[in-house]
Structure 1
Amino acid sequence: MSKTLDAPKARRRRGAASNEVRIAAEVAQRTKRQGRGAAQALLVGGVPRVDLLPTEVLVDRRQRAVVRRVWLGVVLLTAAAGGVVLLTAADAIQQDAHLADVRRETDSLLLQQQQYRDVRSVETQSGLLRAAQSVGGSTEIDWQATLRGVQNSLPTGVAITGVQIDSATPLEAYTQSTGPLQGQRVATLTVDAASPTLPSVPSWLDAVKSLPGYVDANANSVTLDTSTGIYTVDMTIHLDKTVFDGKYTAKDKS
């Protein structure tokens, strides 16, 4: 009974062993074919190569390649620097040439100015004369017109017998009065007038207010000459800076 039960197990073991042998044979055959194909490929593809150089040689080669690249960079930088230097030098040469042209033009203008040196000298002298005239005439007063105005302001029958004039100069300021009620003045006109009758002094004081530059007027005295019967009036008139005619200044502006 035991022999009958163990027979299938023995058969199964033999079948498994047979399969393992078959598979191993197929693998061996496949490997053999692959080896043959590889050998054929090596034979057909080309000559086999083997790198037998030491590692130090390969490292040295790589280092040399790095050094060559570094030197190439140095050469490129040197070339770039040289280009910049050349451009700078070219620009400097151009600027020097422009400066030389400007200097030549300036020299030419100076030579042309030398031709008109006398004219410029005359113009300078004329300018100085005009300036001196303007300063010297800054305190100029048209006394003829002023005295005519005083004459026209006289009452009927009154005639001027004497005039004293005191005015400012370009080099000295006019002395001002210390009185608090007297205005600024640049000239003083003292007039002596004679009249056969007692003149109306208030009317005369009102009349002189129309004079150019009038500041104030005072009647100093009224006297009678008993031998002749003539009245003499002494009057002082103060004038301000508006009395200046400014004729030289006007010429200078024109």
Structure 2
Amino acid sequence: MSAKDNAIVVGGEPRIDFLPPEIKQKKQARRTLRSLVMLVIAVAAVCLLGYAGVTTIAIASQARLSSEQDRTITLISEQGKYSQARSVAATVETARLAQLVASAPEIMWREYLGQLQATLPAGASITQIDVAGTSTTQGPPAVDGPLAKAQVTQIVLAGVFTSVSDVAQWQDNLEGIESIVGFWITPISDAEGAYEIQATINVDHTALALRLFEKAPDADAAAESEVAETTEGGN
């Protein structure tokens, strides 16, 4: 009992508690049990709310994931529709590049030999021509020395001139062709009125046709130089 219960009340209404202590303990136990039940109910409600919230978030996340998966499947399906077009485009590009590689060492020989023919003095003629050119699988002829200029092809020809002076004039005419980077002439026979010679002419990359290459006006020299390096160094 507390100090208040032990105090003497003067003039108050007399009261006597005849309830056994067991009854009081039962009443206190019922109140405690009621409090525990309310606490359990409150905790269960909080757990249910938390579970409902987590479940809602999980369902929303699963829905977003399913949406992204469906979008991915749709994109893959769309890509499959255009796979044939991409394959055709790749084949066309490969063929174009193959044409460029194959045509890189090409020289328009009819026009070029016509240019050489035009350098002959009157009465002179070419009797035989052999060309040691390049291809996509074979490199250019080797240069003859450290001072020799790079070449993409070599022409060996036989000709007949009426005199030695005509041969000298022809040499001067050959020097006027830009693509010729070197030549030498060997006499074969010196019959009267028929001076036979053999000439070896080195030709550089400026003689290449490059007919399949697209070139900007200011990039012609750079393009020719790049093709020449490819032709000279490739095997």
Q: What is the correspondence of 1:1-254 to structure 2 with a 5 Å cutoff?
A: 39=12, 65=35, 68-69=38-39, 72-73=42-43, 75-104=45-74, 106-107=76-77, 110=80, 113=82, 126-221=92-187, 223-226=189-192, 229-250=193-214
SS in 1 for 2:137: coil
Q: Deviations over 1:140-159 (max 9, x none)?
A: 11112221222222334432
SS in 2 for 1:210: coil
Which range moves more in the overlay, 163-172 or 61-70?
A: 61-70
8 Å contact from structure 1 (residues 215, 239) kept in 2: yes
Q: Deviations over 1:1-59 (max 9, x none)?
A: xxxxxxxxxxxxxxxxxxxxxxxxxxxxxxxxx956xx4xx79xxx999x978689769
Unpaired stretches in structure 2, ≥5 consecutive residues: 1-8, 216-235
* 1:107 CA displacement: 3.4
Q: Deviations over 1:41-93 (max 9, x none)?
A: x79xxx999x9786897699569747854763464145224312222222212
Aligned length: 205
8 Å contact from structure 2 (residues 161, 167) kept in 1: no
Query: What TM-score comes out, normalization by structure 2 length?
Result: 0.65
Q: RMSD of aligned C-alpha atoms? A: 4.0
Q: Which gives a bigger RCO, structure 1 or 2 (Cα 8 Å, sep 6+)?
A: 2
Unpaired stretches in structure 1, ≥5 consecutive residues: 1-33
Counterpart residue number, 2:229: none
Partner AA of 1:107 in structure 2: S
> Could you tell me how far apart the structure 2 residues matched to 1:180 and 1:241 are?
18
Counterpart residue number, 2:224: none
SS in 1 for 2:164: coil
**Structure label with greater radius of gyration:** 1
Query: What TM-score comes out, normalization by structure 1 length?
Result: 0.61
Partner AA of 2:100 in structure 1: S
SS in 2 for 1:165: strand
